[in-house]
Structure 1
């Protein structure tokens, strides 16, 4: 008589048991080594010594029944199975981090707290007035402002480390899962030194600025700066950019010492920098302000805050 198969001989049961012994720590250690392809650097990145890393990788390979790395005295290389696992682990750990941060985001809304990513040029104009009105109507609500570049804001929204971002001219560049709402329409104007002959005119054209040194916001820090530059090119002027800075205040400081002119959102005129005059630009270059958030069901607190910004 043939005996029925034992529990341990059922197909897939051994794999299931081995899988249950794989911990997130093993996967994170594997990810670090797969990124660095060097045990010493990976251990330093994880802030551990090398032996525990080696032991975790060896145990992971034994549980999976495959070699994930080819090791020689000179180098560490991913096997084909290792490359496949690397792609899956990157996806898994990223999704897990997003899910955990989303739960934290829900917790922030329950505690009446909003994390806001903001660019420096948005600090003037209608935004802060509307935020102040919202706080007066909701005295239990607090927020933290994080000054972030435009690309950093997108990454922070995706990671759920901020709840709402404030940005400029984002409509063509918003990724599919990020939504946006117009806060205020603005245009670009010209900041010049008060002794500049252009000050005799209420309005100037880009061609009037063609031979001037331009002080621009950083192209790497701000998509808006690149958009302003591209708008100038499309209107027939190639700006001579001599300085790139992170903040409008730095641009205005350089203008005030005669280092050039700067194209900035019109609300920056509210800064009242000594020695700087703002002139209207004949051509229209938009500097519209938007609020952005990740496309998931918004807690009531965040919805009310967005409504206040729109009003």
Structure 2
């Protein structure tokens, strides 16, 4: 049984006229008659009662028509779906990110992307940065939203949007009377820091402080930026955090820009070089749109 025969049968069942059915199918009448006869022989039943004046479905033909319509409908749906997958409009994306990214443009990106591509399943995985890179290398994630650029034989990075490092201070801190701070101004401060063993961003901040001659006096080490903000608010110390993390703190803490850029101040999409998911391509295009709205380069304040 061929798919062509099912299509021929469905059209003839609708037209109940070989001449009209052949015209719809853009074939001549003899091939249509031949294919219907072959289909009936294969099934071992008559699908049509026909004579010189009329063509009518048999009871078996009516039952077969219902199943054929379901089959052709499913095939049509499958055809559309596979084309959507090929064009990046359907499929599945596994995204790894730290919790602090929810304070930046990521929620807007996800909402816009899922509205534009409702047939793509977007799964968000909150993981520490080191675990994200391991999952990327093992093809368990499709993309990592990261503040650390990674380019090697396996992974590659694409800049998305600026998110410069700023200083978070308790509201009553003496340094809040300054509009901008240098790392050297923090020489004697107690720091709340991220764990360097799981975060390339944290290691980069530590290296920047060391290069500036600032030996960090660490009072607390935490896993996520929101925890840093909470401890700064409680007065335990100061912290170097991404500017996006200050979005919802309001008057709870004081935030001051740095006089010199620390790191490159960018957020990246890190992907596996051999990831061929088309949905990932459409996601990255949407992320770049958000990045263009946020600005092409990190702002100073």
Shorter-chain TM band: 0.5 to 0.7
1:129 to 91, 97, 108: 108
Question: Within 5 A, what are the aligned runs for 1:41-60?
Answer: none
Q: How many residues align?
A: 203
| Residue number in structure 2 paired with 1:296 | 274
Cα distance, 1:187 vs structure 2: 1.4
| Residue number in structure 2 paired with 1:39 | none
| Residue number in structure 1 paired with 2:145 | 166
Question: Within 5 A, what are the aligned runs for 1:101-116?
Answer: 112-116=91-95
Is 1:275 aligned to residue 238 of structure 2?
no
Cα separation, 1, equivalents of 2:175 and 2:220: 21
RMSD of aligned Cα (Å): 2.0
Cα distance, 1:273 vs structure 2: 5.9
| Residue number in structure 2 paired with 1:239 | 216
Cα distance, 1:226 vs structure 2: 0.9
Cα distance, 1:201 vs structure 2: 1.3
Q: What 5-or-longer segments of structure 1 have no aligned partner?
A: 1-105
Cα separation, 2, equivalents of 1:202 and 1:274: 16
8 Å CA contact 2:114, 2:122 repeated in 1: no
Cα separation, 2, equivalents of 1:123 and 1:237: 30
Q: What 5-or-longer segments of structure 2 have no aligned partner?
A: 1-84, 290-301
* SS of aligned partner of 2:198: coil
| Residue number in structure 2 paired with 1:139 | 118
Is 1:310 aligned to residue 285 of structure 2?
no
**Highest RCO, 1 vs 2 (Cα 8 Å, sep ≥ 6):** 2
Cα separation, 1, equivalents of 2:182 and 2:207: 16
Q: 1:176 to 1:272 in 2, by over 3 A?
A: same
2:172 to 195, 202, 221: 195
8 Å CA contact 2:184, 2:212 repeated in 1: no
1:198-218 Cα shifts (integer Å, max 9, x gaps) = 111111111211101000111
8 Å CA contact 2:90, 2:117 repeated in 1: no
* SS of aligned partner of 2:197: coil
Cα distance, 1:126 vs structure 2: 2.3
Cα distance, 1:299 vs structure 2: 2.2
Cα separation, 2, equivalents of 1:110 and 1:288: 28
- Higher alpha-carbon deviation: 255-264 or 109-118: 109-118
Cα separation, 2, equivalents of 1:254 and 1:299: 41
1:152 to 131, 137, 143: 131
State the TM-score, normalized to the length of structure 1: 0.61
* SS of aligned partner of 1:141: strand
1:227 to 184, 204, 210: 204
Cα distance, 1:192 vs structure 2: 0.4
